[in-house]
Amino acid sequence: MDFSPDRPTFFVNPDYRPMTGAAKPVIDPATLETVGAITAASDGEVDAVLTAATKAQAAWKKLDAKSRARHLHALANAIEAADFTRCAELMVREMGKPYPEAIGEIANCAPIFRYCAEMARDDAGKIAGTTQTGSFQYARYEPYGTSVHIMPYNFPILLMCWTVAASLAAGNACVIKPAEATTLSTLDYMTVFRSLPEGLVSCLPGGAATAQALIASDRTHAVAFTGSVAAGKAVAVACAERMKPCVIEAGGSDPLIISQHAPLEVAAAGSVTAAFHLTGQVCTSAERFFVVDAVHDRFVELFAEKTRALRIGNGLDNTEIGPLVSDAARAKVMRLVDDAIRSGAKAVTGGRIPPAHNVGWFYEPTILAGVTPDMAIVREECFGPVAAICRVKDFDEAIALANDSPFGLGASVFTTDLAEAHEAAERLEAGMVWINNPLIDNDALPFGGWKASGLGRELGRQGLDAFRRSKMVIIDHKPAIQGWWYPYPDSWFREAGGRKHV
């Protein structure tokens, strides 16, 4: 059967299959209209997916690296040739992302499959210096089996491809559990995987119970998760109980430092994207701003001026700021902003529901000045279009306050002082540091956080190694009785009080 947004389905490559559960409407956060219908997977549907994955992986793991790479390049070709118009429109209507960002995310996933395909051909196993003559000693890598990919709603296709590409390249089968808010666009995207062997990739809709069932199964062997800190901790605990490896990307509350040496026009423009990209619903959004006193007022003026120019509206129109994904998401943002204002902060711009958009889950991009480090908006992850600005006396205070957080995903700095740039890279407690250009990623560099922001890494060599296990191999090509084998010669023992000791 073909995919239809109005009919709940799951995907087992190459087929869409009907689901049996009660349908749940998918609501457009901009218009509150119904986009389609989804349901959660039943036990039988979970079993069908895992049965297909297990069978497919048994053959996939036997392929040589060059053959697997050929399949992944064919997949990349399919991505580059596909028309993703419907998929992008579904993503906009499911979660509010502006259309240019949706189509860009969806269409630009081919490079990660090509990168992982070629990286896996260079196995990078280690031949060690031998510990004894006549012995060949080395490490090799093997796949785990079937990996589970529990995805977020903000970048449902891109982040899925990051971990799926690495897992497939390593020799695993993949089961994708999409975010409920972006199930339709994820399912629509699944057609690109039809170039792969039957059953190797599946997409299984559902909520927390579906994720729990997949993690708990003896037929899954590794987990990739992106989402909230609370959910990430739950996934990590569930995996630990089963000694199952996991990669956890759990978000954060990223700091952005404006040094007295910052190029203020560039810093203000970059801060708009860092804070308000995807309505602030980015794991690496800049939420906590630490602005040195010498440039504070001018920076805030420029930042506010550029922020007021942003257009708010439906992602299918010409807008930068779409709705938040849900009423609950907006309610959290409003709670944190209102609390900060009651505690003495000032809304330089924003701080309200836009009067022209009282239908849907819209909120104006907001800049708060006069924020202090003890406020809830600094201590919690806001995950909305809010920049909370703290005035600091100097660069050292900015670094100290930036690090005073349970989170450690990313951190940004604007400065033209080379010493400050290197100091920031060294001293900031985060998995990623951006100097003068926030939010950039690189397929060849590890992506992930410190502290409560995550475990393990995506992308780069570490991203591939997350989905394969090492094996030490010792081969003696001239078998011989070794001198240290049992029984020990009498000369190895000594008499002491009537007892023999080694």
Q: How far apart are CA 153 and CA 160, in angstroms?
A: 10
52-64 mean pLDDT: 98
In a domain, 88, yes or no: yes
Q: Which residue among 161, 246, 283, 382 is the active-site one? A: 283
Cα distance between residue 431 and residue 441, in whole Å:
12
pLDDT in tens, 262-276: 999 999 999 999 999
Residue corresponding to tokens 């395909």: 117
Residue 496 has pLDDT above 80, yes or no: no
Using only C-alpha atoms, the chain has a radius of gyration, in whole angstroms, of: 26
β-strand partners of 175 = 148, 202
Per the domain annotation, does 443 fall within a domain? Answer: no
Question: Does pLDDT of 233 surpass 90?
Answer: yes
Task: For residue 139, list its beta bridge partners.
Answer: 472
The pTM for the full model equals 0.96
Range of the domain at 364: 254-435
The pLDDT value given to residue 494? 72
Q: Answer for the pair 321, 275: CB distance below 8 angstroms, yes or no.
A: no
In a domain, 313, yes or no: yes
330, part of any domain: yes
Question: Looking at the structure, do residues 306 and 262 belong to the same domain, yes or no?
Answer: yes
**Claim to verify: residue 33 and residue 157 sit in the same structural domain:** yes
Catalytically annotated residue among 249, 320, 381, 420:
249
What pLDDT does residue 492 have?
87
Query: CA-CA distance, 202 to 131, in Å (whole number)?
Result: 45
pLDDT tens digits for 82-96?
Answer: 999 999 999 999 999
Per-residue pLDDT, 123: 79
Mean pLDDT taken over the chain = 96
Instruction: Summarize the confidence of residues 211-228 as an average pLDDT.
Output: 98
Assess whether 201 and 277 both reside in one domain. no
Name the percent of the chain lying above pLDDT 90.
Answer: 93
State whether 132 and 230 are in the same domain. yes
Whether 124 is covered by a domain: the verdict is yes
Q: Quick check: 454 and 432 in contact, CB under 8 A?
A: no
Query: In percent, how much of the chain has pLDDT > 70?
Result: 98
If asked whether residues 332 and 421 sit together in one domain, one would say: yes
Is position 90 within any domain? Answer: yes
Amino acid at 164: V
Q: Report the number of distinct structural domains present in the chain.
A: 2
In the annotation, is 283 catalytic? yes
For 83, residues 6+ apart whose C-beta sits below 8 A from its C-beta are none
Query: Is 390 one of the catalytic residues?
Result: no
Can you give the pLDDT at residue 455? 97
Tokens of 305: 């001026």
Compute the distance between CA of residue 197 and CA of residue 129 in angstroms, rounded to an integer: 39
Question: Could you tell me if 361 and 317 are in contact, meaning their C-beta atoms sit under 8 angstroms apart?
Answer: no
In a domain, 206, yes or no: yes
d(CA 378, CA 289): 9
- Specify the higher pLDDT residue, 396 or 125: 396
Are both 262 and 179 inside the same structural domain?
no
> What CATH number is given to the structural domain containing 142?
3.40.605.10
At 499, the pLDDT band (50, 70, 90 cuts) reads low
Same-domain check for residues 212 and 196: yes
β-pairing, 201-203 with 173-177? parallel
User: What integer pLDDT is reported at residue 495 of this predicted model?
Assistant: 56
Query: Of 409, 435, 461, which closes a domain?
Result: 435
Residues 267 and 209 in one domain: no
Query: Which residues of 267-393 form beta strands (DSSP E)?
Result: 286-292, 346-349, 366-369, 386-392
Q: In this predicted structure, what is the pLDDT of residue 18?
A: 98
Q: Is residue 441 part of a domain?
A: no
Dist CA 60 CA 46 (whole Å): 21
Instruction: Say yes or no: 235 and 266 in one domain.
Output: no
Identify the band that residue 125 occupies on the pLDDT scale cut at 50, 70 and 90.
confident
**How far is residue 68's CA from residue 64's CA, in Å, rounded to a whole number?**
6
pLDDT tens per residue, range 398-411: 999 999 999 999 99
381 and 305 belong to one structural domain? yes
CB 129 within 8 A of CB 114: no
